[in-house]
Amino acid sequence: MKELGNGRQAGSALTSLASRTRQRREGSGIEVQEEELGTVTAQRLFKMRCECGRSWFELELPRLIQCPACAKLNLVSI
Protein backbone atom coordinates (compact mmCIF):
# COMPACT_ATOMS: atom_id res chain seq x y z
CA MET A 1 0.00 0.00 0.00
CA LYS A 2 1.22 3.50 -0.77
CA GLU A 3 2.29 5.52 2.25
CA LEU A 4 1.04 9.08 2.58
CA GLY A 5 3.25 12.01 3.69
CA ASN A 6 1.86 11.98 7.23
CA GLY A 7 2.92 8.35 7.82
CA ARG A 8 -0.52 6.84 7.23
CA GLN A 9 -1.19 4.36 4.47
CA ALA A 10 -3.58 5.15 1.62
CA GLY A 11 -6.00 2.38 2.66
CA SER A 12 -6.33 3.72 6.20
CA ALA A 13 -6.89 7.24 4.84
CA LEU A 14 -9.73 6.00 2.62
CA THR A 15 -11.25 4.06 5.54
CA SER A 16 -11.02 7.18 7.68
CA LEU A 17 -12.68 9.24 4.94
CA ALA A 18 -15.48 6.69 4.57
CA SER A 19 -16.13 6.63 8.31
CA ARG A 20 -16.33 10.45 8.39
CA THR A 21 -18.94 10.49 5.61
CA ARG A 22 -21.28 8.15 7.47
CA GLN A 23 -23.90 9.93 9.53
CA ARG A 24 -26.29 8.43 12.10
CA ARG A 25 -29.94 9.45 12.01
CA GLU A 26 -32.40 8.51 14.70
CA GLY A 27 -34.48 5.49 13.71
CA SER A 28 -33.31 5.39 10.07
CA GLY A 29 -29.95 3.58 10.35
CA ILE A 30 -26.75 4.73 8.65
CA GLU A 31 -26.65 6.98 5.62
CA VAL A 32 -23.57 6.61 3.39
CA GLN A 33 -22.50 9.40 1.07
CA GLU A 34 -20.02 8.63 -1.68
CA GLU A 35 -17.75 11.14 -3.39
CA GLU A 36 -15.29 10.70 -6.26
CA LEU A 37 -11.67 10.74 -5.10
CA GLY A 38 -9.26 13.07 -6.95
CA THR A 39 -5.46 13.19 -7.06
CA VAL A 40 -2.93 15.87 -6.16
CA THR A 41 0.60 16.23 -7.48
CA ALA A 42 3.24 17.79 -5.22
CA GLN A 43 6.66 19.20 -6.06
CA ARG A 44 9.58 20.09 -3.83
CA LEU A 45 11.45 23.29 -4.51
CA PHE A 46 15.04 23.85 -3.27
CA LYS A 47 16.44 27.34 -2.84
CA MET A 48 20.14 27.43 -3.70
CA ARG A 49 22.45 30.23 -2.55
CA CYS A 50 26.07 30.65 -3.70
CA GLU A 51 28.82 32.29 -1.62
CA CYS A 52 28.81 35.12 -4.18
CA GLY A 53 25.29 36.05 -3.03
CA ARG A 54 23.31 34.77 -6.02
CA SER A 55 20.29 32.63 -5.20
CA TRP A 56 18.03 30.52 -7.44
CA PHE A 57 15.62 27.60 -7.24
CA GLU A 58 16.03 23.96 -8.32
CA LEU A 59 13.46 21.13 -8.46
CA GLU A 60 16.05 18.44 -7.73
CA LEU A 61 18.78 18.44 -5.08
CA PRO A 62 22.15 17.90 -6.82
CA ARG A 63 25.44 17.09 -5.01
CA LEU A 64 27.43 19.56 -7.15
CA ILE A 65 26.09 22.60 -8.98
CA GLN A 66 27.57 25.48 -10.95
CA CYS A 67 26.50 28.99 -9.94
CA PRO A 68 24.79 30.81 -12.83
CA ALA A 69 26.34 34.14 -11.76
CA CYS A 70 30.00 33.42 -10.94
CA ALA A 71 30.32 30.00 -12.67
CA LYS A 72 31.97 28.54 -9.54
CA LEU A 73 31.39 24.80 -8.92
CA ASN A 74 29.78 24.33 -5.50
CA LEU A 75 29.16 21.36 -3.20
CA VAL A 76 25.52 21.42 -2.09
CA SER A 77 24.76 21.08 1.63
CA ILE A 78 21.47 21.27 3.50
| pLDDT of the chain, 78 residues: tens digit per residue | 455 555 545 555 555 555 555 455 556 788 889 999 999 999 999 999 999 999 999 999 999 999 999 999 999 998
Residues 69 and 51 in one domain: yes
Phi/psi of residue 40, each to 5°?
-130, 140
| Same domain, residue pair 34 and 52 | no
Domain, as residue range, for 4: 1-40
Q: Same domain, yes or no, for 36 and 18?
A: yes
Looking at the structure, do residues 35 and 58 belong to the same domain, yes or no? no
Q: Are 33 and 52 in the same domain? A: no
Contact status, residue 51 vs residue 74, Cβ threshold 8 Å: yes
pTM for the whole thing?
A: 0.50
Q: Rounded to whole angstroms, how far apart are CA atoms 60 and 68?
A: 16
Write b or e for each residue in 62-78: b if 16 or more Cβ atoms lie within 10 A of its Cβ, otherwise e: eeebebeeeeeebeeee
Could you give the number of structural domains in the chain?
A: 2
Q: Clarify whether residues 20 and 53 are in a common domain.
A: no
Q: Are residues 1 and 32 in the same domain?
A: yes
